[in-house]
Amino acid sequence: MDVRTFACDMERLAPPDLAEDFDAGKIGLIVEGAPEFTTVCCALDPTPAVVNEAIRLNAGMLVVHHTPLWTPLTAVTGSTATLMRSILSARMNVWVMHTNFDYAEEGVNDALAELLSLTDTIPLSLGLVGTCMLAPSEISRRLGCPLRCWGDLSSVKRLAVVGGSGFDPGLIAEAKALGADAFLSAEMKHSVARSSPLPCIEATHYALEAPGMVRLAARRGWHYIDDKPLLSTVP
């Protein structure tokens, strides 16, 4: 497949116009490799382990959610030099779909809702609210990560889910107004927890966003490379 055709396909799937302003210049073709390729790999983050595995698999294209070049660069040194040397030497392309894939139909949040078997879903400005029949332990099992539960979660029927770092006071208020009993996202802050009108379930950023990439890979016949952060709880 050639890069241009692939790009058109990806932009239909996750239109660049859907992205937040802060993603300007940080989505789409972020590293340009060979113009033709046969193998596509997919991952959440382009970590060294992911990149090395993709190269081992002869991937000509690596599709990721988080860009390897978030902070604008005027020097290529240290771990960035190592990573860029691996990618460029292998002539592997890197394609990024970030907030445009969060907002896309069949994107990050839809995959999350499917994984948690949500029904009767209604959209939020980001994420969605649906009926959830799962106990927290089952949510933890399906997501593959431990949870931190803020507040009293004894009677949750309608659950708001937002992939990534979604504990925003405005978004929580919107979810409550639309009937949510609890709010699932990642990266809780003390001040937000203190004033939250809903109990909150905190998973990891990885656990909430990976399902979208896993499902995309499965549907396209790509190889998904898992690289979950090592995380445990005490006690």
Q: Per rule CB under 8 A, is residue 133 in the interface with its own copies? A: no
The contacts of residue 191 (CB under 8 Å, 6+ apart) are: none
Task: Work out which of 38, 79, 154, 155 binds its own copies, going by CB under 8 A.
Answer: 79
Find the Cα–Cα–Cα–Cα dihedral 204, 205, 206, 212, rounded to 10°.
Answer: 120
Q: Per rule CB under 8 A, is residue 12 in the interface with its own copies? A: no
Task: Work out which of 13, 18, 149, 178 binds its own copies, going by CB under 8 A.
Answer: 149
d(C-alpha 42, C-alpha 50), whole Å: 9
- To its own copies, the closest distance from the beta carbon of 71 in angstroms equals 8
Q: Per rule CB under 8 A, is residue 74 in the interface with its own copies? A: yes
- To its own copies, the closest distance from the beta carbon of 225 in angstroms equals 15
| Number of residues in contact with its own copies under rule CB under 8 A | 59
d(C-alpha 226, C-alpha 201), whole Å: 23
Task: Work out which of 52, 91, 134, 214 binds its own copies, going by CB under 8 A.
Answer: 91
Q: Per rule CB under 8 A, is residue 177 in the interface with its own copies? A: no
Strand, coil or helix: 85: helix
Q: Per rule CB under 8 A, is residue 152 in the interface with its own copies? A: yes
Dihedral (CA of 101, 52, 232, 218) sign: positive
Q: Per rule CB under 8 A, is residue 4 in the interface with its own copies? A: no
Q: Per rule CB under 8 A, is residue 5 in the interface with its own copies? A: no
Q: Per rule CB under 8 A, is residue 88 in the interface with its own copies? A: yes
Contact 31, 94 (CB under 8 A): yes
* Cβ distance to its own copies smaller for residue 122 or 135: 135
Please compute Rg for the chain using Cα positions. Answer: 18
Q: What are phi and psi of 111, to 5 degrees?
A: -65, -35
d(C-alpha 169, C-alpha 167), whole Å: 7
Q: Per rule CB under 8 A, is residue 166 in the interface with its own copies? A: no
Contact 27, 19 (CB under 8 A): yes
- Cβ atoms within 10 Å, residue 50: 21
Q: Which stretch binds its own copies (CB under 8 A): 81-89, 105-113, 122-130, 177-185?
A: 81-89
Contact residues: its own copies, CB under 8 A: 25-26, 28-33, 45, 47, 66-67, 69-70, 72-79, 81, 84-85, 88-89, 91, 136-137, 139-140, 146-152, 165, 186-191, 193-195, 204-206, 229-235
